Structure 1
């Protein structure tokens, strides 16, 4: 006769306290989730890494999160937002599956229902990802089946352990199998918990490694020899870098370049399988392979890119030497038709960005399909094998990484990823400046103190930077040299500091005469504004 898992009335003399029992039930729920994840990852080895439900759910969370939540995560964790999201998801899943274990103990099959609902949501997340197929849903289904089998199996052993410590507890239940005594039943439960966890972790981790390594992108990237540029960038003048300790370098290294995107898992793309399709409102549809792209005349261009989420004084900005082919020449081959005013670029991971067509076709804008960054093939996290680089526009409307598709269309007919989430459709970079040194809240010695930092207005240029100490008149800072208006510029003011607590402010003036505005504005919906301000104590 089967054993029911319903909890009967418990006598006061029970040997295992109810709280302890619920705690073990919660652990059984968490272990069942670990089994779910391990089985799903193992199944994804067969169906393909696109079927990984954990990555799909994480990506869905990113997609569905409101702009305010995205701003909060980036503001709190910066480029560590993906790690923070992963930790948050893990905490939530542990809580939910732990509660499912307790629910299954007291009100079966409620815990299995929770896993069933979670599995259905995972299937939906997988099937709504870009490029997904029906087979990609199999890992989530298999994982759910495993969880709903494992959970009652673990709780049955817990029930036997509890019964062995309090013989009168289950008097109201049906006859039970012979018991081996509390030590034996406890060992049976703990062994089942340990073995299930170990097998799930080993299998799941191994499967994740296999899925992540199917395309050994690092080896493929290392094997690429970038061709010489047909048009080389102007050399960085010696005067572009000021001799001020702590100031931001004029060129940002690949390792230090910021990364903000929607990809929970960095796409692994074999360059031999990559292609770019240009279609839509064009006379000639074009498909370009990676080898064909490398064979085209490539150009070098030094450009500053920034994220729209960058707060006043923030570091979500960087300058690099990009190597690529001008987007405008490919668009010229495609011949956009009358009425087209936007190019919708799509990433391998499904992200989209809407870029004004007139910007991409402008002879004075060095918009590139970039294949190189600071003399190397693009790092994987920065778009390998191909990404877009468009000076003067925030990344969310232009800097599509892992780009695979360009659709010529109209703003009236299509929207990029962030536009329906409340962000401006055009995204021009604003005039901004930042104090790097002295850092806010620090103390310095009286005397000559360099106040230094960077200012930027890509594709327009910076003509002037001024510094204010407390409420004294604004004074001009010394501007360093720069390669072009598409890059930021370093600046410095030698301050004769006197003892006390002081407020240091900076503002910039663009080459077009625009003066940076004082009023603080949040990044949403079209970029932060305001003067960067530091508090400094002089000893």
Structure 2
């Protein structure tokens, strides 16, 4: 009995999730209930546990989290199905609580239609409850109640002679279809629910918004100015608006080898690590960026305002502070946008007037996520961007559409605000999202290097073996890369591709004359300031530090 009741509850939940996800896919102002629950779990989970999850799972952290949420909710639904046999009133109360929870977590998401969101949760869970009830009746489980009813005094509303009871018993008995029919009914409902869920997930990722952003074309944009609440003043004239693009990377900036990452990472392959499990859907026509806080002239920009300012392309390597030594949470992109310093200039901010009240620049996402860094970094001459393009196209939604921050030389957790809606200048006392979760406050990217053309555990053939990969120290550049084949006892200087830009990674290769035996390979880099990458091994978080991994990428190989 319990197994069939539990199955009925699980099938009902699958149908409910299928309905809600399908509606989410059809109408993006209705959030994903499943994603919203997972997002709340992230927000309530202690930062150290979230960090460990990212370090352990990398880009698989989101699927694992959502899978865990699904398993947990399936367990709850199974319990409700069992409860529905003996205590249907309590089971209905449980469904009501689930409905309230689904509505509450859905309202955590920005940019939703409240009425449609509430209706989606209610209809979804109602559909699931009806399916579960039909399965319980089909299995004849409602007949279990007869034994209790037969003990009621004759003539009472709950007695066996009651017309209502006889109707319920007759209905329950006539609905019993046996084990095969029960499984067929449940299987059909599961297939329908999963199909709706899958279609909803597919539709929710199939707009601009995601896989095929439009190409950028700024060549014919007219000059314009942002609107500020203290009026406009151009000092009697306007600077010429320019839209600078970069030439194709020179051939000598790349080394063509199997396993070598592309010099410019395709948007589809760019690493993704977010606190937001579902990407906010922002209408660029309604979007605004406000610059406020300790500024002389609070100002507001539309998407069109930014594109009508002088823009440029900039090649910048971004990396996640959670990236382990030799890990893949690093990518190199060609970004398009407006200099952050130009945006701050419109608000009256300069290096000369930075004070203790404006020491920190905080980027705030449309969903409230924050990242902060020293304001001076935005004004020290580096090409920090308010970016709206990646690799010649609009930003994909998952990478921050319509606008994000890109700051060379800083880890993403202190600088790379996606879905940017506010820039606030404030004091250093403010602690942004990840700082509240025990990461250090400054976040400069450490000099790192990685072996890509050889993998740990490889069995290699004797002879020439190219050992190559990438090294990066954004804003400082890479001057030298060395490879050791004897566990660091001796070092061999690698051949470098030309440096595309000091803000990007640099490819290298060492042509190793490999002899038969077992070897320990290591790689290390020296940055553009002459500083050698540290050899001390340390994980991204813990082990004496909370500011990123360090050490030499090391692997064991065999040569036959």
Q: Distance in 2 between matches of 1:207 and 1:435?
A: 40
**1:345 maps onto 2:363 in alignment:** yes
- 1:467-486 matches, within 5 Å, as 467-471=483-487, 472-486=489-503
Q: Could you state the TM-score of these two structures normalised by the residue count of structure 2?
A: 0.81
Match 1:508 to one of 518, 521, 525: 525
1:196/1:440 Cα in 2 relative to 1: closer, same or farther (>3 Å)? closer
Unaligned runs of 5+ in 2: 153-158, 221-241
Q: Distance in 2 between matches of 1:330 and 1:163?
A: 71
Please say if residues 137 and 172 of structure 2, whose CA atoms lie closer than 8 Å, have aligned partners that are also in contact.
Answer: no
**1:529 maps onto 2:533 in alignment:** no
Which residue is equivalent to 1:447? 463
Match 1:61 to one of 22, 41, 62: 41
1:169/1:521 Cα in 2 relative to 1: closer, same or farther (>3 Å)? same
**1:88 maps onto 2:88 in alignment:** no
Which residue is equivalent to 2:209? 217
Please say if residues 435 and 452 of structure 1, whose CA atoms lie closer than 8 Å, have aligned partners that are also in contact.
Answer: yes
Q: Distance in 1 between matches of 2:201 and 2:263?
A: 39
Please, what is the CA RMSD of the aligned residues?
3.5
SS at match of 1:255: helix
- 1:101-500 matches, within 5 Å, as 101-130=81-110, 138-139=118-119, 142=122, 146=126, 150=130, 153-154=133-134, 157=137, 160-161=140-141, 163=143, 172=151, 174-175=159-160, 176-177=165-166, 178-179=169-170, 184-186=175-177, 217=209, 221-222=213-214, 225-227=217-219, 230-233=243-246, 236-336=249-349, 338=355, 339-362=357-380, 364-412=381-429, 414-471=430-487, 472-500=489-517
1:53/1:136 Cα in 2 relative to 1: closer, same or farther (>3 Å)? farther
1:41/1:397 Cα in 2 relative to 1: closer, same or farther (>3 Å)? same
Q: Deviations over 1:321-380 (max 9, x none)?
A: 111110111101102463201122122333221132111122x21001112222222223
Please say if residues 304 and 318 of structure 1, whose CA atoms lie closer than 8 Å, have aligned partners that are also in contact.
Answer: yes
Please say if residues 43 and 138 of structure 1, whose CA atoms lie closer than 8 Å, have aligned partners that are also in contact.
Answer: no
Q: Distance in 1 between matches of 2:185 and 2:465?
A: 66
1:68/1:106 Cα in 2 relative to 1: closer, same or farther (>3 Å)? farther
1:415/1:151 Cα in 2 relative to 1: closer, same or farther (>3 Å)? farther
Q: Which range moved further: 141-150 or 302-311?
A: 141-150
1:273/1:154 Cα in 2 relative to 1: closer, same or farther (>3 Å)? same
1:358/1:486 Cα in 2 relative to 1: closer, same or farther (>3 Å)? same
Q: Distance in 2 between matches of 1:221 and 1:503?
A: 44
Please report how far the alpha carbon of residue 271 of structure 1 lies from its aligned counterpart in structure 2 after TM superposition: 2.3
Please say if residues 115 and 147 of structure 1, whose CA atoms lie closer than 8 Å, have aligned partners that are also in contact.
Answer: no
Q: Distance in 2 between matches of 1:130 and 1:474?
A: 53
Please report how far the alpha carbon of residue 36 of structure 1 lies from its aligned counterpart in structure 2 after TM superposition: 4.0
Q: Could you state the TM-score of these two structures normalised by the residue count of structure 1?
A: 0.84
Which residue is equivalent to 1:37? 17
Which residue is equivalent to 2:223? none
1:262/1:109 Cα in 2 relative to 1: closer, same or farther (>3 Å)? same
